[in-house]
Amino acid sequence: MDWGMSNRISRMIKPSTGHSVMLACDHGYFMGPTRKLENPRKTIEPLLPFADTLAVTRGVLRTSVDPKWETPILLRVSGGASILKEDLSDEEITTSMKDAVRLNVTSVALSIFVGSNHEKQSLVNLSRLVDEGEEYGMPVMAITAVGKELEKRDAKYLALACRLAAEIGVQIVKTYYCENFSRVVDGTPVPLVVAGGPKLNTEMDVFNLVHNALEDGAVGVDMGRNIWQSEHPVAMIRAIRAIVHERASVKDALQFFEDEKKGKGVESHAHV
Ligand code: R5P
């Protein structure tokens, strides 16, 4: 692997632990002003010290992220559909590699829609992005989007979608956690991170998801709503960091979350 590509990956997936906590704030690209992300800067700023990577579009990057902040950027470069459409799969590449390089981002991300009306279009778009990424040393993340059809969140479907992305040549895949997730990991010869999906009922549900995904072989999370829609987003991301980077148990993460909430945080859990 070329030095630039390898260096960019090391900035996102921490070599000290081999894991990563990515903060996903790119929802507006098709969902508009998502609850608690209406003002992106307000949501992002307090969480950034605890994120290994921030996922955004170029619009949010230029308007709401201070260029002096050092967190590596995962740039969402696909779009073209909105939640008003039944079919969310009709996406194209919406940001050029040239602009991604100008923005000095660390990686680019595009959704693929395996099994949808626009399956071929999304896979060909991904191939083009990977070709350009190879040219510029820019890692590409494929996101195995399931859109409104959340029932597709099973190991058979996700293993297929993740494998297709790996075969096209991406450096990393974002997918969903599911039962038998190790089957998805085993069939995908590149690192996997998991999204959180819509907000879960309890903190324990979120910590279980993160813990199980890591146990099954995910390198980390690229999570949004379950962090910033929480009443205590900083405590939430810090507890997730403890699981991802320190292999904290769910019980310890819960205790850590409760302590953080009350302002009794343990300093050693900060930045790994
Ligand atoms: C969708 O807009 C993006 O791919 C999100 O980055 C992804 O779904 C992760 O965010 P969440 O944890 O909120 O699902």
In order of their start, the domains of the chain are 3-237 (3.20.20.70)
**What pLDDT is attached to residue 67?**
97
Rounded CA-CA distance 28/50 in Å is 22
- Residue 272, pLDDT > 50, answer no
State the average pLDDT for the chain. Answer: 94
Q: Which pTM value belongs to this model?
A: 0.95
- Residue 267, pLDDT > 80, answer no
**What pLDDT is attached to residue 263?**
81
How far does the centroid of ligand 1 lie from the alpha carbon of residue 260, in Å? 25
Structure-block tokens of residue 145: 């989007």
* Of 269 and 224, the one with more pLDDT: 224
pLDDT tens by residue, 156-211: 999 999 999 999 999 999 999 999 999 999 999 999 999 999 999 999 999 999 99
Quick check: is 174 catalytic?
yes
Q: Is 213 in the pocket of ligand 1 (CB under 6 A)?
A: no
Question: Is the CB of residue 237 less than 8 Å from the CB of residue 23?
Answer: yes
How confident is residue 100, by pLDDT bands cut at 50, 70 and 90?
Answer: very high
Q: Is 224 in the pocket of ligand 1 (CB under 6 A)?
A: yes
**What pLDDT is attached to residue 262?**
86
**What pLDDT is attached to residue 264?**
66
Which residue type occupies 160?
L
Which position among 98, 120, 174, 261 bears the catalytic label? 174
Q: Is 223 in the pocket of ligand 1 (CB under 6 A)?
A: yes
**What pLDDT is attached to residue 148?**
62
* Ranges 61-70, 111-120, 216-225, 262-271: which has the least confidence: 262-271
Question: Is the CB of residue 25 less than 8 Å from the CB of residue 60?
Answer: yes
Question: Is the CB of residue 175 less than 8 Å from the CB of residue 194?
Answer: yes
Report percent pLDDT > 90 for the chain.
Answer: 90
Closest to 160 (Cα-Cα) out of 169, 152, 150: 152
pLDDT tens by residue, 137-160: 999 999 998 766 666 789 999 999
Closest to 227 (Cα-Cα) out of 240, 214, 215: 240
Atom of ligand 1 nearest to the CA of 223: 12
User: Stretch 23-45: mean pLDDT, rounded?
Assistant: 97
Q: Is 195 in the pocket of ligand 1 (CB under 6 A)?
A: yes
Pocket test for ligand 1, best of 23, 27, 148 (most atoms within 8 A of CB): 27
Report percent pLDDT > 70 for the chain.
Answer: 95
